Chain A
Amino acid sequence: METQQLTTLAGVIDKKMNRQLKQYIDICARCAICKDACHQYVGTGDFKYLPARRAELIRQIYKKYFDKAGRFVPALYEARDPDENLLEELYESTYACTACRRCMYFCPFSIDTAWILSVAKAMLIAAGMGNEMLSQLADAAIMKGDQPELFRDVLVSGFKDIEAEVREITGDPSAEIPVDKEGADILYVGLAGAHSIRPAAVIFHEAGASWTLSLFESANYGFFLGDAEKARKIADRYMDEALRLGVKEVVITECGHAYRVAKIFHEAWSGKKHPFRVRHILEVIDEYITDGRITVDPGSVKGAITYHDPCQIGRNGGLFEEPRRIVRALAADFRDLTPNREQQWCCGGGGGIVAMSEFDEDRIKSGAKKVEQIRATGATIIAAPCENCRLQLEQLRDHHELDLHITPIMDLVVEAMPLAGTKAAQA
């Protein structure tokens, strides 16, 4: 690589610099306490997955270009250029990271490795090494936002099919899936696919909620890609829709990263306060059950059930008790994983890694701790309110031949509701 290009790439660090990042780079003692926190390092033993090592690559570039001591004596810090060798390792350690931030939890200085890696992603994108799959998926989502009229009819007719199913399930021919309903209380943002819409529609209908369905899905590949501009545009699609319709709240479906994007990142990215609140569908369901707006059969779930905290909902999103209350309301035999809540192991499927086939082998290995945890409970059902978690758990189940049913919580709720319809909730 030419000097000019190396300088430009290193310059990405300077452009993305902020106080937290500077401190994280300056204070890490390389004590490696994070080594036992990372499911990927524990599962594979591969040095490049050691959290401090992932951050160290960015530190080495920073020292070479921006740190006084590093420029004076580069050898002291093994300061390096962002050359091919470094970028190659950086690509693997960065895009493999699921951003579960379990290392941050255990770090004596609370260093957020994922935050350091957000700079790594920006640098990789600048070097033309951003993950292609994530980039294509992000661009497709942005295009859909730019030209919604191209997709609208297909989507709405799809929603009509789901609406028909909802009518059969609820036994109410007036049940509907409203779209573009101005003045609705709730804008519900699902995922691509009926599975995220049907159960929510049943629940909203039974609770008598005033809601409308977003034309856009909440999944955000721009976030996984590490391109804040694209990520904001993707989230803008439904945020603008919410503003236009004047809803009181945006409710995100059973997804991990989308909730964190909507709840925590979007305001910071856009620089504007939302005039509505943002909630996760599980917060809403928990409220409906507590307030008696929907009723559920407390013995509905047969067998031992456990709950997996998706990192972006739990440690990084703050929802620990809502999902547990719902599961306990449906099941007699609830067994929590150990450790749980803020110390929960990442399943290994986050950060968009399930969309990047080059990491398949390490991804399955990185689920070792999760499998161990599940086995220890003896549960045969696991509820996981994140699609990436469920994909990973399904592959772990197949790989380790576990006797395990993996389910979103919404489906369990719908199954537990006394409904007048003839059709079973599950297709």
Chain B
Amino acid sequence: METYLQITSVWGTYLAIAVFVLGIAWRVYEWSTTPKSPVPLGLFPKPKTGAGRFGKMLKDTFLAPHSARIEPRMWLFAMMFHVAALAAFVGHLRIIQEYPLLPQWLGEDGMNTFAAWAGGIAGTLMMIAVLYWIGRRTFGPFKNLSVPEDFLLLALLLGVIIMGNHMRFFGHVHAETYREWFQSLLAFRPMLPDEIVHSNVGWSLGTHMLFVDLLLIYFPFSKLVHTIGSFSANLVRSE
């Protein structure tokens, strides 16, 4: 167990973060050094001011109102996934630093209960959305559009989510303990707390991190770069 965790949750994590950061930097460099087309590609009506364009870009990127109009169901699942993923990300920040205020109001136990509910809901919603997408790709009338990349990413996501949910629903290890592990990574003095290694979620953390590592490594080279590219693409819309 300890070796497995050493591979996926220590050295694999270092590798994944390095590849992710460098990969994204390379991707952004590629985009920004490719000359723009001289032809404006915007759609009308366009906002008249720069601030208006920027505001519209943010609205289009974060809310996708047009997509909501044409396919409300897909929009709902996509929104559900992305909001839940954001919530999960915010929750995970606890393993770097405990939030101010909230734990003081709720108390330590209260905070853990709150995190259990919030994380549980977010994890469940993400899982439902990913399952919907897998179904949509497998049974939809346009299933031939999908390529292996799509299924690979969904499989990785599902792996991350299911393992995360396992830790959330079946584990008794709380953020404080995970923080010890993650802080040690950040300090480049990696250690694995015994409390995790010898718990029932040791292997699920290991597997959660295995999928996270693979997802992060593949991220900059996959269609997931829409997370950063959609901003500029949506800005082109009102050029």
Give residues in A with beta carbon < 8 Å to B. 17-24, 26-33, 35-37, 45, 47, 50, 52-53, 56, 68-69, 75-78, 101, 104-112, 115, 264-265, 268-269, 271, 314-318, 320, 342
Going nearest first, the 10 A-B pairs with the smallest beta carbon separation are: A318-B44, A69-B221, A110-B237, A27-B229, A27-B226, A268-B38, A18-B37, A108-B64, A268-B39, A109-B230
CB distance from A200 to the nearest CB of B (A): 24
* Dominant SS among interface residues on chain B: helix
Contact between B148 and A27 (Cβ–Cβ < 8 Å)? no
Contact between A30 and B223 (Cβ–Cβ < 8 Å)? yes
Contact between A314 and B44 (Cβ–Cβ < 8 Å)? yes
Pick the most buried of A75, A111, A115: most chain B CB atoms within 10 A of its CB: A111
Residues from chain B with Cβ under 8 Å of A108 in the complex? 60-61, 64, 66-67, 78, 230
Contact between B74 and A31 (Cβ–Cβ < 8 Å)? yes
Chain B interface extent, by class? 35 or more
Query: B180 contacts the other chain (Cβ, under 8 Å)?
Result: no
Contact between B149 and A76 (Cβ–Cβ < 8 Å)? yes
Pick the most buried of A36, A107, A115, A317: most chain B CB atoms within 10 A of its CB: A107
Contact between B43 and A101 (Cβ–Cβ < 8 Å)? yes
Which residue from chain B places its CB closest to the CB of A18 in the assembled complex? B37
Contact between A20 and B37 (Cβ–Cβ < 8 Å)? yes
Residues from chain B with Cβ under 8 Å of A342 in the complex? 43-45
Given A47-B142, A50-B145, A56-B145, A318 contacting B45 (CB threshold 8 A): yes
Residues from chain B with Cβ under 8 Å of A77 in the complex? 147-149
Contact between B233 and A24 (Cβ–Cβ < 8 Å)? yes
Residues from chain B with Cβ under 8 Å of A35 in the complex? 142
Contact between A32 and B145 (Cβ–Cβ < 8 Å)? yes
Within 8 A of A (CB), among B32-88: 32, 34-41, 43-46, 60-61, 64, 66-67, 69-71, 74-75, 78
Given A18-B37, A342-B43, A36 contacting B148 (CB threshold 8 A): no
CB distance from A24 to the nearest CB of B (A): 7
Partner of B140, one of A24, A32, A36, A37: A32
Residues from chain B with Cβ under 8 Å of A115 in the complex? 37, 41
Excluding A20-B41, A23-B229, 14 further A-B contacts by CB distance (< 8 Å) are A18-B35, A18-B37, A19-B36, A31-B78, A68-B221, A106-B66, A107-B66, A108-B78, A109-B226, A110-B43, A110-B60, A112-B236, A315-B44, A318-B44
Contact between B149 and A22 (Cβ–Cβ < 8 Å)? no
CB distance from B69 to the nearest CB of A (A): 7
Residues from chain A with Cβ under 8 Å of B30 in the complex? 22
Contact between B44 and A316 (Cβ–Cβ < 8 Å)? yes
CA distance A269 to B37 in the complex (A): 10
Pick the most buried of A28, A35, A269, A320: most chain B CB atoms within 10 A of its CB: A35
CB distance from B65 to the nearest CB of A (A): 10
Contact between A265 and B70 (Cβ–Cβ < 8 Å)? no
Which residue from chain A places its CB closest to the CB of B36 in the assembled complex? A19
Residues from chain A with Cβ under 8 Å of B78 in the complex? 31, 108
Chain B positions 213 through 239: 1 when the CB is less than 8 Å from some CB of chain A, otherwise 0: 000001001110110011011101100
Contact between B229 and A107 (Cβ–Cβ < 8 Å)? no
Partner of A320, one of B44, B69, B144, B149: B44
CA distance A47 to B141 in the complex (A): 9
Pick the most buried of A20, A68, A314: most chain B CB atoms within 10 A of its CB: A20
Contact between B146 and A47 (Cβ–Cβ < 8 Å)? no
CA distance A305 to B61 in the complex (A): 37
Contact between B67 and A78 (Cβ–Cβ < 8 Å)? no
Contact between B38 and A112 (Cβ–Cβ < 8 Å)? no
CA distance A109 to B225 in the complex (A): 11
CA distance A22 to B149 in the complex (A): 18
Contact between B233 and A109 (Cβ–Cβ < 8 Å)? yes
CA distance A110 to B232 in the complex (A): 10
CA distance A316 to B41 in the complex (A): 9
Which residue from chain B places its CB closest to the CB of A78 in the assembled complex? B147
The 16 listed contacts between A and B (C-beta, < 8 Å) are: A22-B34, A27-B233, A32-B145, A33-B70, A33-B71, A68-B221, A69-B218, A69-B222, A77-B147, A77-B149, A105-B66, A106-B67, A108-B60, A109-B229, A265-B39, A315-B44
Partner of A18, one of B34, B60, B61, B150: B34
Query: B117 contacts the other chain (Cβ, under 8 Å)?
Result: no
CA distance A106 to B222 in the complex (A): 22
Partner of B229, one of A17, A26, A31, A76: A26
CA distance A248 to B154 in the complex (A): 58
CA distance A28 to B233 in the complex (A): 11
CB distance from A77 to the nearest CB of B (A): 5
Contact between A19 and B35 (Cβ–Cβ < 8 Å)? yes
CA distance A153 to B140 in the complex (A): 60
Which residue from chain A places its CB closest to the CB of B232 in the assembled complex? A23
Query: B22 contacts the other chain (Cβ, under 8 Å)?
Result: no
Contact between A106 and B69 (Cβ–Cβ < 8 Å)? yes
CA distance A18 to B34 in the complex (A): 6
Partner of A111, one of B39, B141, B218, B233: B233
Chain B positions 125 through 156: 1 when the CB is less than 8 Å from some CB of chain A, otherwise 0: 00000000000000011101111111010000
Contact between A316 and B43 (Cβ–Cβ < 8 Å)? yes
CA distance A76 to B148 in the complex (A): 5
CA distance A56 to B45 in the complex (A): 28
Partner of A23, one of B31, B71, B148: B31
CB distance from A73 to the nearest CB of B (A): 9
CB distance from B39 to the nearest CB of A (A): 4
CA distance A31 to B154 in the complex (A): 12
CB distance from B98 to the nearest CB of A (A): 35
Contact between A20 and B236 (Cβ–Cβ < 8 Å)? yes
